[in-house]
Amino acid sequence: MGLSQLEKAQHFLKLHTSAGCFLMPNAWDAGSAKMLVASGFTAIGTTSAGIAFSMGHPDNAFCSVHARVKKDAMLAEIKAITQAVSVPVNADLEGGFGDSPADVADAIRSAIEAGAVGGNIEDYTGIKDTPLYDISLAVERIQAARETIDSSGIPFVLVARTDRLNINQANGFAEAVQRANLYREAGADCLFLPGASDVATVSKLVQEIDGPLNVVVGLSGSEVSVAQLKDIGVRRISIGGSLARAVYFKMRQAAEEMLHSGTFTYAQKQISQSELNTIFESKL
């Protein structure tokens, strides 16, 4: 018998509170989730960008409102992933599918109902002129998430993400650290600051942020390794939508070969039908 949601949540929280570092790759559908678990990973995340791409939509963070994947559709995919595997799943909840603390609280409740045991809430608004939520509102949003988790009975891992390092303005590092520490005080279990992947910057973040740090790698082919990030004190490593984009790159290569060369060398490297059937037949 598999672990209950409570047991998975307890295990996932322990990964964030105990010493050490773990790698949590990001899936975009039930099939990719099963492939990652079959490869040996014991915890995975979802990628909102990858889910959007798989549905024929652009990444929600960088497109117009009408083109974005809606909350219900995103949560349906998250649920499909949690139901496909027996390991803890961290849900990419973007900005909480709304601006208000109440919207964030509802996103957390919905993620728990979908079977997730952790989730990211970011402070990126998607609005060009005001790309980040005001700090006071951003803190209230994390507080609302924390209150919802505490009343749920599930020790859901709350990951607060700030995109301050991705905004090209002065004092970016100092404000990113400030935001991360305020989110930690507001109840976040883990802090996530995309835009930092080099050893020097990440090492400084580890020193200045009072809580477990998630670092995303693979976004630009960074040569940093798990061993290096572990050595400087990073607690969790994720890969965002990079694996999904790599898969689409291979698909485009194959399409261009067929169209322009009329050859099929892409098919020389495949996972066999029988192996895929075995992986996809059971809940891993």
Q: Is residue 116 part of a domain?
A: yes
pLDDT band at 190 (very low <50, low <70, confident <90, very high): very high
What does the pLDDT read at residue 221?
57
Mean pLDDT of 147-166: 97
R_g of the chain, CA atoms, integer Å = 19
Residue 215: inside a domain: yes
Give whole-number Cα distances, 52 to 71, 149, 157, 165, in Å.
11, 26, 23, 24
For residue 1, the model assigns a pLDDT of 64
**Average of pLDDT values for 175-202?**
96
Question: Nearest-CA neighbor of 246 among 35, 71, 89?
Answer: 35
What confidence score (pLDDT) does residue 67 get?
81
Q: What is the pLDDT of residue 144?
A: 98
Q: How high is the pLDDT of residue 128?
A: 87
**In the chain, % of residues over pLDDT 90:** 88
User: What are 157's two structure tokens?
Assistant: 């891992």
The pLDDT score that the predictor gives to residue 284 is: 83
Q: Above 70 in pLDDT, residue 152? A: yes
Q: Give the helix, strand, coil percentages of the chain, each rounded to 5.
A: 50, 10, 35
Predicted pLDDT of residue 64: 73
Angle between helices 172-185 and 135-150 (to 10 degrees): 30
SS3 call for 26? strand
Q: Is the pLDDT of residue 154 over 90?
A: yes
pLDDT reading at 268 higher than 90: yes
Higher-scoring residue by pLDDT: 24, 284:
24
Cα(57)–Cα(69) distance, integer angstroms: 7
| pLDDT value at residue 188 | 98
Q: Check whether 171 has a pLDDT greater than 90.
A: no
- Residue 255 in domain: no
> How high is the pLDDT of residue 241?
97
pLDDT at 153 over 60: yes
In a domain, 273, yes or no: no
Domain of 148: which CATH number? 3.20.20.60
- Digit-coded pLDDT (tens) for 23-68: 999 999 999 999 999 999 999 999 999 999 999 999 977 677 778 8
135-150 helix and 101-113 helix, angle to the nearest 10 degrees: 40
Our count of domains for the chain comes to: 1
Mean pLDDT over 142-150 rounds to: 98
Report DSSP letters for 74-135, one per residue: HHHHHHHHHHH-SS-EEEE-TT-SSSSHHHHHHHHHHHHHTT-SEEEEE-B---SSS-B--H
Q: What percent of the chain clears pLDDT 70, i.e. is strictly above it?
A: 98
DSSP secondary structure code for residue 69 in this structure: P
In a domain, residue 199? The reply is yes
Ranges 5-19, 214-228, 250-264: which has the least confidence:
214-228
* Mean pLDDT computed over every residue of the chain: 95
Q: 274 lies in a domain?
A: no
Per-residue pLDDT tens digits for 108-139: 999 999 999 999 999 999 888 999 999 999 99
- Model confidence at 168, pLDDT cuts 50, 70, 90, reads confident
Indicate whether 111 belongs to any domain.
yes
In a domain, residue 123? The reply is: yes
Domain range for 58 is: 5-243
* CA dist., res. 109 & res. 152, Å (int): 8
